């Protein structure tokens, strides 16, 4: 995945401050805006906000061009914001000039919904012939729900998978990872694959890499715990969650099967995997590691390990509709058409039916389609809150980084993180 999950560009407080003026902006008397008017003989002009840039923007433009040729009621114009996307979207929203449709990654949806920046789409997708909500994997669909209303249709579901260097496993006679692997299985293999290959007294090959990625939820959820549950209750310091954090700590500080934070971040986890310095890597199902590695070694992919429960974190984004768009019915139609079209793009779709086409779109993933399907079924996002960015920052500062640096025990880190999260949420 092309992101360090725990580093946020914009804090939730700053975002909320910028957007406060948008509360109640869905009033029809304030919704007219330039470029959104229509007449009986003119298509509704709609702007689409995206962070796509360079080659991805060209591919996205081709999708939009095709839709514009087919559409009878609307015409889409892309508004590309490849840098400082959220800062610029927030500025436009505060001025009531947000694009009619735009992309939001999962952690921003609750905040934008509660501030009135985006509109619910339930009435438009209900019984729509081109929308089958039952076809969506449960995890991706749920990230668009806030207070019982649906605010967006997901266009990508990127579950975290376990990539492994099959060549290294075979070289050292270690059993290949299986879909039913437990964390203990993973741990044993990682220990066997952590080696000083040149006998200079320093480890130069590691079983895995943990450097701020993957998120701690991968351990907490698979031990039956939660960080914040669906009702907004903080549970990161409960026994199940602590058991997951203990395994996280075990791998880093006791077994030492991962490079140090500095070493990993200086080189980069993906780069260490691609150069054979790391045997197992947690990456997104749609990452192009296979293409980048080429013939250097044989790559395998399977589900992430588990303890008492199978689960995996997924990077999910949705198409949403601005509350200031004038013709919501037409904008919703465009949202549906656009999202469905993106499902046929190169990314991994959040729908069961479209996932069957991935092998054709991405031949490099054909070998792993079955485990990608299984992972999509157990994939999920966070139980996102309107202050999700603040929560993520607190988890990094109070738990993830301290354990990464060996400065806190799992119990103390969980306690500190729990207290910090409750303070943010007013519990």
Q: What residues does 118 pair with on adjacent strands?
A: 322
Question: For the residues of 35-80, what is the DSSP string, one character each?
Answer: T---BTTBPEEEEEEE---HHHHHHHHHHHHHHHHH-SSEEEEEEE
Give kind and range of the element (H or E) at residue 183.
helix 183-192
Does 204 reside within a domain? yes
Shared domain for 267 and 399, answered yes or no, is yes
End-to-end CA distance of the chain: 33
CATH of the domain at 350: 3.40.190.10
Shared domain for 337 and 352, answered yes or no, is yes
The pair of structure tokens assigned to 307 is: 């303890």
Q: Distance between CA atoms of 385 and 303, rounded to whole angstroms?
A: 27
Q: pLDDT tens, 284-341? A: 999 999 999 999 999 999 999 999 999 999 999 999 999 999 999 999 999 999 999 9
Three-state DSSP at 85 gives helix
Q: Distance between CA atoms of 110 and 385, rounded to whole angstroms?
A: 6
Shared domain for 392 and 349, answered yes or no, is no
Shared domain for 144 and 63, answered yes or no, is yes
pLDDT value of position 347: 79
Q: pLDDT tens, 17-49? A: 344 443 333 333 333 333 444 444 689 999 999
Contact 395, 245 (CB under 8 A): no
Shared domain for 225 and 82, answered yes or no, is no
pLDDT value of position 309: 97
Does 286 reside within a domain? yes
Question: For the residues of 206-269, what is the DSSP string, one character each?
Answer: BS---SS-S-THHHHHHTT--SB-TTS-B-TTSHHHHHHHHHHHIIIIIS--S--HHHHHHH-H
Q: Distance between CA atoms of 311 and 276, rounded to whole angstroms?
A: 27
pLDDT value of position 23: 38
Shared domain for 30 and 115, answered yes or no, is yes
The domain of 228 spans: 160-313+386-425
pLDDT value of position 363: 93
pLDDT value of position 7: 43
Q: Distance between CA atoms of 314 and 203, rounded to whole angstroms?
A: 31
Shared domain for 238 and 202, answered yes or no, is yes
Domain total of the chain: 2
Shared domain for 252 and 301, answered yes or no, is yes
Instruction: State how far Cα 217 lies from the chain centre.
Output: 12
pLDDT value of position 41: 60
Q: Distance between CA atoms of 67 and 77, rounded to whole angstroms?
A: 11
Shared domain for 139 and 32, answered yes or no, is yes
Does 5 reside within a domain? no
pLDDT value of position 21: 41
- Cα within 13 Å of Cα(219), Cβ side: 27
Report, as ranges of residue numbers, the positions in the chain whose pLDDT lies below 70: 1-41
Contact 313, 381 (CB under 8 A): yes
Q: Distance between CA atoms of 423 and 427, rounded to whole angstroms?
A: 6
Does 6 reside within a domain? no
Contact 50, 78 (CB under 8 A): yes
Shared domain for 63 and 126, answered yes or no, is yes
Shared domain for 217 and 326, answered yes or no, is no
Does 165 reside within a domain? yes
Q: State the burial class of residue 134 (Cβ atoms within 10 Å of its Cβ: 0-12, 13-18, 19+).
A: exposed
Nearest to 299 by CA among 276, 318, 269: 276
Q: What residues does 321 pair with on adjacent strands?
A: 101
The pair of structure tokens assigned to 60 is: 């996205």
Shared domain for 299 and 164, answered yes or no, is yes
CB atoms within 10 A of CB 266: 12
Does 259 reside within a domain? yes
């Amino acid at each position: 995945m092309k992101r360090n999950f725990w580093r946020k560009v914009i804090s939730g407080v700053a975002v909320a401050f910028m957007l406060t003026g948008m509360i109640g902006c869905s009033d029809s008397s304030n919704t007219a805006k330039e470029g959104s008017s229509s007449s009986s003989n003119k298509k509704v002009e709609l702007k689409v906000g995206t962070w796509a840039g360079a080659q991805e923007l060209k591919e996205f433009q081709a999708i939009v061009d095709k839709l514009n040729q087919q559409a009878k009621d609307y015409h889409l114009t892309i508004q590309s914001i490849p840098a400082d996307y959220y800062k610029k979207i927030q500025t436009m929203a505060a001025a009531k000039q947000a694009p009619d449709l735009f992309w939001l990654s999962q952690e921003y949806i609750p905040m934008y919904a509660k501030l009135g920046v985006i509109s619910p789409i339930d009435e438009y997708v209900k019984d729509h012939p081109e929308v089958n909500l039952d076809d969506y994997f449960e995890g991706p669909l749920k990230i668009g729900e806030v207070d019982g209303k649906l605010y967006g249709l997901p266009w990508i579901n990127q579950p975290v998978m376990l990539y492994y260097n099959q060549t290294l496993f075979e070289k050292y006679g270690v059993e290949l990872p299986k879909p039913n692997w437990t964390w203990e299985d993973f741990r044993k293999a990682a220990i066997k694959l952590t080696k000083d290959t040149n006998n200079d007294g320093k480890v130069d090959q590691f079983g895995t890499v943990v450097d701020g990625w993957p998120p701690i939820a991968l351990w907490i959820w698979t031990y039956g715990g939660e960080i914040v549950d669906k009702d907004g209750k903080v549970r990161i310091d409960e026994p199940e969650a602590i058991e997951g954090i203990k395994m996280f700590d075990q791998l880093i500080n006791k077994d030492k099967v991962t490079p140090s934070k500095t070493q990993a971040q200086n080189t980069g986890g993906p780069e260490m995997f691609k150069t054979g310095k790391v045997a197992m890597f947690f990456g997104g199902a749609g990452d192009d590691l296979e293409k980048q590695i080429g013939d250097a070694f044989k790559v395998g992919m399977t589900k992430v390990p588990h303890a008492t429960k199978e689960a995996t974190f997924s990077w999910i984004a949705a198409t949403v509709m601005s509350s200031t768009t004038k013709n919501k019915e037409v904008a919703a139609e465009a949202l549906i058409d656009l999202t469905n079209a993106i499902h046929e793009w190169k990314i991994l779709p959040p729908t069961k039916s479209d996932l069957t086409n991935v092998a054709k779109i991405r031949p490099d993933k054909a070998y792993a389609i079955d485990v990608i399907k299984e992972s999509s079924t157990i994939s999920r996002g966070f139980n996102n809150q309107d202050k999700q960015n603040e929560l993520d920052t607190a988890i990094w500062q109070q738990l993830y980084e301290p354990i990464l640096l060996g400065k806190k025990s799992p119990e103390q880190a969980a306690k500190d993180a729990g207290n910090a999260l409750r303070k943010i949420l007013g519990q």
